[in-house]
Chain A
Amino acid sequence: MHNISPEEIVETLLMITQQNLDIRTVTLGLSLQSCADPDVEVMARNIYETVTARAEQLVPVCEAVSAEYGIPIVNRRIAVTPIASVAAATSAADLTPLAAALDRAAAEVGVDFVGGFSALVHKGTGDAEARLIDSIPAALATTERVCASVNVASTRSGINMGAVLRMAEVTAETARLTADRDSFGCGKLVVFCNMVEDNPFMAGATHGVGEPDAVVNVGISGPGVVRAVVAALAEDADLTEVAEAIKATAFKITRVGELIARETARRLDVPMGIVDLSLAPTPAEGDSVADIIEAIGVQRCGGPGTTTALALLNDAVKKGGAMGTSSIGGLSGAFIPVSEDAGMVRAVNDGALTLEKLEAMTAVCSVGLDMIVVPGDTPVETLAAIMADAFSIGVINHKTTATRLIPAAGKQVGDVVEYGGLFGSAPVMSVNGWAGSRLIRRGGRFPAPLGSLRN
């Protein structure tokens, strides 16, 4: 049968039906550079018209591809040019009309999130960038589908410490403005170090300035598949065997991503961009990165050995994936969002997983301190210091790190917040009270590290 054995067919069907294999997102990247206009209302109209025209076919095409190939495509999303760079054309102080236009356009074409209410300020904050950042809390509170992100650090330029503190204030303000939804606005806000230009995953997706006018990027999933493969190994299989099994599975998952990316790009008549190899968990039972870590042999995720298991997992996924596609991109590392991963939530509830261990895990995986709920009265200097620690890891180690912290208004350690759907629920985590507030208040720029001088 074209050399495909019945066993291989059954394996594929089992991966889809029982182990949650799916394509996590097909994200259409769109340039909005041509939408710039001095009048913010005209710009908003241009944005709405551009997005609805270019993305009209995204959902129908994804639905058809998904049905014909029998592979679920969980999310269809849109990423746009960081709005601050388009908004430089206007002097309007309030940029929320642009967020509202994106929100309406996303609803019109049937996508659940649009990313790109964003700014890059890693070396300094421009006027348009400052206005965008000021507009984030209201934009996130008054829209449903818009995601915001800000890049405050890079290996080449160091950390803009003033921007870190400002983003901590913006996070706290967003939490206050969305208090009636357990501060969910912060779930749509990512602060980055070494942001990438082709990330298909929300909430941090943007369409970088180095990209073509439109592009299809695909984010794979598959923690459930990897967990099943590791769990099926012999109890005493050595770590080389574990890595080998993960690698072989990552190859298969990536190939599905490559196929879906090629086919959706062809049907949408836009170039295929990248396949992002991140293992992205969901609250579904077994579809968990924490469960993989535990299947590898850690009693509870967060316990000693966790960083080793995560490093091995992340590296094996990349090695397998690299054989499956020539278009690796985006973040390409395991995600560890606490609220979205039932195993992580269990580990926090058991006292095994703390903020400090998550920071250590950030050093060996993708985006770090993700969907972490902390008490609503956490001081902004403390939030900023937590962010700065994550970004220091990124700056020094030439990698993307990010934070998505939710200081849930009115909540204390021990409370639980429910966001529903893929966002899951999470216990409020305790924060170390000995924060470097004075360090944060010093401001200035954390200089680019020696390792950045590579030319």
Chain B
Amino acid sequence: MHTPAILSVLGEDRVGIVAAIARVLAETDTNIEDIRQTIISGIFSMTMLVTVDEEKTPFDDLQRRLAEVGEEIGTQVTLQREDVFRFMHRI
């Protein structure tokens, strides 16, 4: 099952954030569909639309791995199913 999800990353800017997140996604066969990234007053903010292959990587496993990486690099990483945003902001 291919599940669209939104990955958001917030934290202090430093070298290697994108690389660290992208490595987890590559290792879990999670495809990146779109990326937007910006720095606001030194705060790194990135949102990604990804497709999770739940047959290869269960959703909660991916959430756990991303949270671990987030902790290592000192950023807050959340992965949520995409419908929650679509439901909340669109009819």
Contacts and interface: CB of A to CB of B under 8 A. Distances in A.
A235 interface: no
Interface string A131-144: 00000000000000
Contact of A4 (B45, B79, B85, B91): B85
Contacts of B34: 1
A259 B90 contact: no
Contacts of B79: 70
A399 B12 CA distance: 52
Contact of B88 (A6, A67, A68, A255): A255
Closest 3 CB pairs of A and B: A70-B80, A259-B87, A255-B87
A13 interface: yes
A12 interface: yes
A438 interface: no
Nearest to B52: A68
22 contacts: A1-B6, A1-B34, A2-B4, A2-B86, A4-B86, A6-B36, A8-B89, A9-B8, A10-B8, A12-B88, A13-B8, A67-B60, A68-B59, A68-B60, A68-B80, A70-B78, A70-B79, A70-B80, A252-B89, A255-B87, A256-B87, A259-B84
Task: Report whether over half of chain A's contact residues are helix, strand or loop; otherwise say mixed.
Answer: helix
Given A1-B36, A68-B60, A70-B78, A8 B85 contact: yes
A323 interface: yes
Contacts of B87: 255-256, 258-259
B85 A12 contact: yes
A2 B49 contact: yes
B37 to A, nearest CB: 9
A355 B47 CA distance: 49
A69 interface: yes
Nearest to B90: A3
Given A13-B78, A68-B60, A259 B6 contact: no
